[in-house]
Chain A
């Protein structure tokens, strides 16, 4: 039984790591020879991917999967709240500048 858990954790780690590596590719497509370029798509994707990773960490590493429903809903609500704050700050800031 413990090997099932350990394999699951390993897979989770692999997914998280590949999402991290995806960032390198993302930035690569936007930057030109070391000069960084602004890109709303990259920014929004970076934030969304980070929050997906956070949710995976909540559910798998922090065992929210096995937690009572209120904790599952609370952590999900938190991810949504953080997304709203971050994306909101970015878009409101962009609109104002």
Chain B
């Protein structure tokens, strides 16, 4: 099902039901979240087998950095959601601005993550230090790979929005769906690595 973009003005009460973006991307989203859930379950089970070690190691993480990361990604999700809505209304300049903001917040997230890794490594906590840090570096790295792929995906959004001959609303929505996945996966990773006790 495709979106009836621009064919009627936005009515809050009864919008047409549509699947945002390609349904294929939704299959990816659901499958990938299941995969990550598998990784999270392995983490949680091994955590329960070794609580002391995990608590001690977790103390080396700074909760505030995690919060900052989460807020950065929530801002980026917010921006791409605004972008999709703007592009649906035909407001392509604001849409492009929002897409750029998404990239900006994504970069902020990435930079702060790298800085955090450097900090942890300087403190002596590396991938091989202990089980907690194995999971920490693994989950954050594989998430960052998704962020990097996300930049390519956002590049597709910008490319689409730029020229009037393209501007496929479905493609923009598909890419936005991917980016939101990157965001909600981080929400889960943050809760499990930083907050869980």
Asked whether the complex places CB atoms of A and B closer than 8 A, the reply is yes
Distance in Å from the Cβ of B153 to the closest Cβ of chain A? 14
Q: Is B165 part of the binding interface, using a Cβ–Cβ cutoff of 8 Å?
A: no
In the bound assembly, the distance between CA atoms of A43 and B196 in angstroms comes to: 4
**Across-interface contacts of A92 in B (CB, < 8 A):** 45
- Residue contact A36 to B58, C-beta cutoff 8 Å: yes
SS of A interface (majority): helix
- Residue contact B41 to A89, C-beta cutoff 8 Å: yes
SS of B interface (majority): helix
Mask, A50-73, CB within 8 Å of B = 1, is 110110011011111011110100
Q: How large is the interface on A (under 10, 10 to 19, 20 to 34, 35 or more residues)?
A: 35 or more
- Residue contact B71 to A62, C-beta cutoff 8 Å: no
- Residue contact A43 to B74, C-beta cutoff 8 Å: no
B71 in complex: contacting residue of A20, A63, A64, A90, CB < 8 Å: A20
Distance in Å from the Cβ of B141 to the closest Cβ of chain A? 20
- The number of residues on chain B lying at the interface, defined by a beta carbon within 8 Å of a beta carbon of chain A, is 63
- Residue contact B91 to A2, C-beta cutoff 8 Å: yes
Q: Is B15 part of the binding interface, using a Cβ–Cβ cutoff of 8 Å?
A: yes
In the bound assembly, the distance between CA atoms of A45 and B7 in angstroms comes to: 44
- Residue contact A97 to B177, C-beta cutoff 8 Å: no
- Residue contact A90 to B10, C-beta cutoff 8 Å: no
Chain B, 2-43, CB within 8 A of any chain A CB: 9-12, 15-20, 26, 30, 33-34, 37-38, 40-42
A2 in complex: contacting residue of B38, B47, B64, B85, CB < 8 Å: B85
The 6 closest A-B pairs by CB, nearest first: A93-B48, A50-B191, A89-B41, A93-B45, A89-B44, A46-B195
10 further A-B contacts with Cβ under 8 Å, apart from A2-B91, A93-B45, are: A2-B85, A9-B78, A9-B85, A20-B67, A27-B197, A39-B197, A63-B81, A75-B30, A82-B188, A97-B51
Instruction: Give residues in B with beta carbon < 8 Å to A.
Output: 1, 9-12, 15-20, 26, 30, 33-34, 37-38, 40-42, 44-49, 51, 55-56, 58-59, 63-64, 67, 70-71, 74-75, 77-78, 80-82, 84-86, 89, 91, 173, 176-177, 180, 183-184, 187-188, 190-192, 194-197
